[in-house]
Amino acid sequence: MTKGYLVLETGEVFEGDWLGAESDTEGEVVFNTSMTGYQEMMTDPSYAGQILTFCYPIIGSYGVNEVDDESAKLTVSAVIINDVCEEPSHYQSTSSVSEQLKKADIPGLANVDTRSLVAAIRKHKTVKGKITQIKEKHMELKDWNNKDTVKLVEDVSVKESEIHGDGAYHVVLVDFGYKKSIINALLKEDCKVTIVPYNTSFETIQSLKPDGILLSNGPGDPMELKHVFPTVKALTENFPTLGICLGHQLIALAYGGKTEKLPFGHRGGNHPVKDLQTGKVRMTSQNHGYVVVEESLDKNAFQVLFRNVNDKSVEGIKHIHLPVLSVQFHPEAHPGPSDTEYIFMEFIHQVITSGGKKYVEA
């Protein structure tokens, strides 16, 4: 195998062997602690612009199949793996991880000391990195580029509207980088789903006569999407709305809230979240680097529904007067536990009880 190097902006260098495309790339280096679900992670649009490190030491043992992709293509910038399995064993497997990376023209490194790399990320909080074949090539460069959120979202969002299913309830999904599992969860709840580009106007969405709105997950810094805040607010004022991950953050920002970057994000399938209404703790699947600042929320408009057990950060909010609910975690749970799948049922219940009526406050 050809030797490759991950060079962090902080100076550390990690050696490995090339996987997939042997091309230089750069991005924020993040890690996910899940033991399974590598195929779903690599195709999750929220990882666009990021170099994904797998904490679990063996990746690829059950191969890659034709059913678990979360989007039509790999959206991650690159992957970092300790031990890659080139001979997968699973009845659904159609290719290996390295074959999938090569086909998608996505680079990666294997045989990397991922334990030390994760320790470095935790030490430096947010850190950018570059994958290169010659470790001295970028050692002196200081022009570490920041990924533009609008460009990332434009790349992963649909370009034209799509319609899925023919259920009783019409949900318009505003696509900032949606996962296929979200669509499947809505179809399961007897929905017809129309997916629209992230920058679709309120008037266009209104003309589709939706019963409800879903604001999807997606990549990047939510504050860089200021131009969609007015549309998000108008949608929530007129239709029952569910926000997931980035969609959750955009709802808070549209109502004057603030977001902040976590030290090294929440990415994994075992994050405990407490339901403040029932006191129950549920395990959740998460993939995000930003959170809503609780103190910035208007207490006359929103109540906090969920809180992260580990760091006490906001994991979900509900509007006091409008049928608007948003969660920071992923209730569709692919990959991860399905403890919070009921969120979709609660959303459809809001849609049903609203009767499609407007909820604009006088």
Catalytic residues: 245, 330, 332
In one letter, which amino acid is 118?
V
Q: Between the CA of residue 237 and those of 182, 242, 255, 273, 323, what are the distances in Å?
A: 23, 12, 11, 27, 9
Tokens representing 75 are 């959206």
Positive or negative torsion for Cα 124, 125, 126, 130: positive
> What are residue 78's DSSP bridge partners?
51
User: Rounded CA gap, 159 and 323, in Å?
Assistant: 29
Give me the phi and psi of 5, to 5 degrees please: -140, 140
Tokens representing 15 are 């050696």
Q: At what angle do helices 229-238 and 246-254 cross, to 10 degrees?
A: 90
Strand, helix or coil at 267?
strand
Give the alpha-carbon dihedral of 150, 151, 153, 157, to 10 degrees: 130
> Using H for helix, E for strand and C for coil, what is the string for 188-204?
HCCEEEEEEECCCCHHH
Candidates 51, 68, 75; CA nearest to 144 is 51
- In whole angstroms, how large is the CA radius of gyration of the chain? 20
User: Rounded CA gap, 277 and 52, in Å?
Assistant: 35
Is 323 in contact with 356 (CB distance < 8 Å)?
A: no
Residues 6+ apart with CB under 8 A from 137: 24
